[in-house]
Structure 1
Amino acid sequence: MKNLLPKLWIFIAAVLFLPLLNASEYEYYNWKPEIYGRNPQCMDIPEDLRLCFNVGYKQMLLPNLLEHETIAEVKQQAGSWVPLVHKACHPGTQVLLCSLFAPVCLDRPIYPCRWLCEAVRDSCTPIMEAFGFPWPEMLNCDKFPEGDVCIAMNTTNSDDMDTSPGVSSVCPPCDNEMNTDGILEHMCASEFAIRTKIKEVKIDNLDRKIILQKRRKPVKLGTLKKQELKKLVFYLKNGAACPCQQLENLGHSYLIMGRRAGTQYILTGIHKWDKSSKEFKTALKKLKSHKCPTYEPVFK
């Protein structure tokens, strides 16, 4: 532990002055984790590791705390979480994820605190469920330490933040701006995309049931079969109460994205079909060739 402490305090001193999205600081508590089972290597965090580049430290350990052994594997898996960070469901989301995907370069692994994991889980699960994803087993909070040395947000700065779960002011699939990256991120959380108009919207228990007009043009079929396209009905999960401006303007054509979850088709993104927007036109051009992170191995 003697060799660990100097490096640990140098790291603490550094990150206290470096911003991290809405959550800008780390704290550490005394916990004695197991030593890495394999020889770890210290490497620079690459620029294309979008989840954790500029996170507040420059180097990470491999294997990481999720047992990813190559940087290619880390980038593939971590990319799936970037949209969740952008949804800002909890100020500690990036802190939690980067402590696992890109752990700071120290002599021993330091895991996130259990309470941080639980706070992020409780706040972000409704967002994930809206896109048809459960909270994954890989982030089972029971695996993480309750105290001692662990990674947390600085409670001094986070006390005035509302970190409790609640109803989003806007339904997550509807909460978007007309920009290329946002549209592509919604597509990466989806299995298919179509162009169509909406005929009717009904409340179905806690969900909204979205009935489409007959004319439906596939933009990217993905896993959707042509015969399924004819019978397609979308559900906005837990969307009975949250606002969705797009579903209140039924005269427009929309780029609608979705994915299958069990026996239902979940609405994962809805953007006004607007060819006058340069951002929208750019997104359409990139849509079919855009390489998305792999979601299935992450959200399981």
Structure 2
Amino acid sequence: MAVLVAFFSLLCPVMAFDLGQSTRCVAIPNQMKVCKDVGYSEMRLPNFLGHSNLESEVVPRSEDWRPLLQTGCHPQAQAFLCSLIAPVCLDTFIQPCRSLCLAVRDSCAPVLSCQGHSWPEALDCDRFPDEDDMCLSPHAKFSHYDLPKAACQNCPSVEHSPALKTVLDSFCHNDFAVTAKIHRRRIPTGEPEFDIEGRVEFIHQGPLLSYDTQHLLQQWLLINLKCAHNLVRPGRSQLYVLTGAVQSDGTLGLNKIFPWHKKDINIAVATRKWKYHRC
């Protein structure tokens, strides 16, 4: 969470940048991974955050944007943020359009809210130009928005050593049930703190897609960090049975979580009986 606090401290000077000041073009360095594959190779300094030193400001502070981007809150969040931290080097300054800001804000502000933060005043979308000016505009609607997607939610119930009936009832009353092994790293490395290890196995697939479910659960962990921190201890992996539903708006909701230890015979029996169980 300390990284997120640093993230917000970066946003304050965004609009203090003077478009009339002299700038220079530099190559986006390899170690600046947040914007390395953004679609262009050179950036302007100072950037729209007012940072002018590549080694001591731009590169290390760019990593503070990574937690938000890792959530996948909007497909153009990287383009929006990198247009500020690593603006493309052209004959004129290219800012994000107001419509792009609004699109990213509407998708990413709920993620920030889930983690206890509001959308920064420094990124008030009214401060960006509209499409009548030269600016970075949003693309058309992305088709993957039609797939189930992770969202902020109240933390699901965690049931330790459940009765057989409890597990079977949860399978009956939810759209899906899966098993997944979740790992939490002890030391921050710039990579996601929580990982879904190995394959996600379906007990009851429901509306989930086999090729997308592991990524979907990974995004749920990154968005619902408070729930994830309460669920998994650092430095270890734990197998879980996760049950939930896909809501009418297409968002994934986890309703009950069962940590599956070797001693939990009832969970093992429930997964075997489910194929023949009548709700």
Q: TM-score, normalised by structure 2?
A: 0.50
Higher helix share: 2
Select the structure of larger CA radius of gyration. Answer: 2
Q: TM-score, normalised by structure 1?
A: 0.47
